[in-house]
Amino acid sequence: MKQLYIETYGCQMNFADSEIVASVLSATHSLCEKAQDADVIILNTCSIRENAEQKVLKRLEELHALQKKGKSRRIGLIGCMASRYKTQWMESRLVDFVAGPDAYRFLPEMLTDAEAPQVRTELSLDETYLGITPLRYQSNGISAFVPIMRGCNNFCTYCVVPYTRGRERSRNPESVLQEIRDLAEKGYKEITLLGQNVNSYRWENAYDFPRLMADAAGMDPKLRIRFTTSHPKDLSDGLLEVMAAYPNICKNIHLPAQSGSTEVLRRMNRKYTRESYLERVESIRRHLPDATISTDLISGFCGETEEDHRQTLSLMETARFDYAFMFKYSERSGTYAAKHLADDIPDEVKTARLEEVIALQRQLSYESHRKDIGKTFEILVEGPSKRSDAHLFGRNSQNKVIVFPKEDCQAGTYVHVKVIDCTTATLLGEKVQNNA
Ligand code: SAH
Ligand code: SF4
Ligand code: F3S
């Protein structure tokens, strides 16, 4: 068997895809943990922001140097950068083969047949990797990610995903549910359903995302179900009702706002306004009073005024986000914004606004955590705490991390923990009797 080393960048979708790749190559390649030991090195890459691509290019140069020194090996570029750059690094021999997100079934032939085309970046309308069981080599055996759809049709003007991953397509629900059932039988306790916009999941018109959630959650009350990401324009009350009906559907909604200014949202082609976003937040609060809401925010998008930026800060305060991923706008070639809108906010202004957004979120996260002091949560124990051997950590339904003294608890079990203190990032707790 040849040795295969895979390094993954970017979103959970890419991490899930790396497990598809490991699976399609498993007949001829076994995984190894270090690039030096590998016959084949694969980088599964991300293009979402410029610094994501720069990180990969730096790594490719490092690997190229390694390749010149040691035994002969092949280096492959896959994922979103493969879609964008295709043959670009083939001539310089920085990479030996390239496969885009819909071309992973070709990898075995690319790696074993020297005559086979070594660049496959065509996107598909229907590839969902049906019939391939992911090789879950990155897993802790407790939580697993299950993609339910691929691609994206939304064309937010700043975003490369519709170009790198192609048209949106949903996966057959029977195969999704079978995969979840198999994971539950193997002892997994938490499943996260993945898609760029899960609310537009649909199979043969009648079967939609709320139904898939109900069927997944109805399987086993001890199996937690999460999902990400929800596009605000498509988050329905029907889904919130299903979430309220099943205690094992986790009460966290990731609802990327991107901006608090209707004018900026319009230029981003997000298809909702500040008001309709806040109306969705209110509906979440009404249906699911215990839910946390997390978000993504971009600072310094084309034409963002100081007033637009203030509107983002005020949206954050009104929505009271529990946590957020916050980014500086990074222009991506090929997108609508790159072609038609000026990237006119100076970098120092972008940075200053981003810092303000981060500082406000830190305060909101801290307040969100403080409110939990004195409450008791059921948490799924994931493993030892990073900071201390004497502590374990787990997550509650709201997706907050709780650290607590180890005692006799095991990873993969549910325990009840009472929160006694907090930081901006973590709750600190102590175990209480499960029947308390
Ligand atoms: N499909 C998801 C998000 C995918 S990308 C959604 O629609 O919400 C994750 C996040 O990266 C986005 O929510 C956005 O906040 C950020 N992002 C995407 N393109 C970006 C760009 N060009 N510059 C900065 N941030 C970007
Ligand atoms: Fe990108 Fe928008 Fe699609 Fe999300 S919904 S992946 S931000 S185009
Ligand atoms: Fe990056 Fe592609 Fe995911 S651009 S965020 S790896 S879909």
Per DSSP, which regions of 114-268 are E strands? 119-120, 143-147, 149-150, 169-170, 190-194, 202-203, 207-208, 224-228, 252-254
| pLDDT, tens digit, 9 for 90 and up, residues 378-411 | 999 999 998 888 999 999 999 999 999 998 899 9
> Residue 200 — pLDDT band, cuts 50, 70, 90?
very high
- Ligand 2 in reach of 254 Cβ (< 6 A): no
Q: What is the distance in A from the centroid of ligand 1 to the CA of 382?
A: 28
Nearest to 424 by CA among 353, 368, 358, 355: 368
Q: What is the distance in A from the centroid of ligand 1 to the CA of 376?
A: 34
Q: What is the distance in A from the centroid of ligand 1 to the CA of 159?
A: 6
CATH-assigned architecture of domain 285-370: 2-Layer Sandwich (3.30)
- Residue 269: nearest ligand to its CA? 2
* Atom 3 of ligand 3, residue of closest alpha carbon: 11
Is the pLDDT at 436 greater than 80? The verdict is no
Q: What is the distance in A from the centroid of ligand 2 to the CA of 265?
A: 13
Q: What is the distance in A from the centroid of ligand 3 to the CA of 246?
A: 31
Is the pLDDT at 11 greater than 80? The verdict is yes
Identical fold for domains 139-250 and 285-370, yes or no, is yes
Atom of ligand 3 nearest to the CA of 45: 6
Q: Read out DSSP for 20-71?
A: HHHHHTTTTEEE-S-GGG-SEEEEEE--SSHHHHHHHHHHHHHHHHHHHHSS
Are the C-beta atoms of 227 and 239 separated by less than 8 Å? no
> Residue 435 — pLDDT band, cuts 50, 70, 90?
low
| Mean pLDDT of the 285-292 span | 98
| pLDDT, tens digit, 9 for 90 and up, residues 143-158 | 999 999 999 999 999 9
Query: What's the CATH fold of domain 139-250?
Result: Transcription Regulator spoIIAA (3.30.750)
Q: What is the distance in A from the centroid of ligand 2 to the CA of 121?
A: 20
CATH-assigned architecture of domain 2-120: 3-Layer(aba) Sandwich (3.40)
- Residue 256: nearest ligand to its CA? 1
- Residue 17: nearest ligand to its CA? 3
Domain map (residue ranges) of the chain: 2-120, 139-250, 285-370, 376-434
What CATH homologous superfamily does 376-434 map to? Nucleic acid-binding proteins (2.40.50.140)
- Residue 301: nearest ligand to its CA? 1
| pLDDT, tens digit, 9 for 90 and up, residues 208-257 | 999 999 999 999 999 999 999 999 999 999 999 999 999 999 999 999 99
- Ligand 2 in reach of 197 Cβ (< 6 A): yes
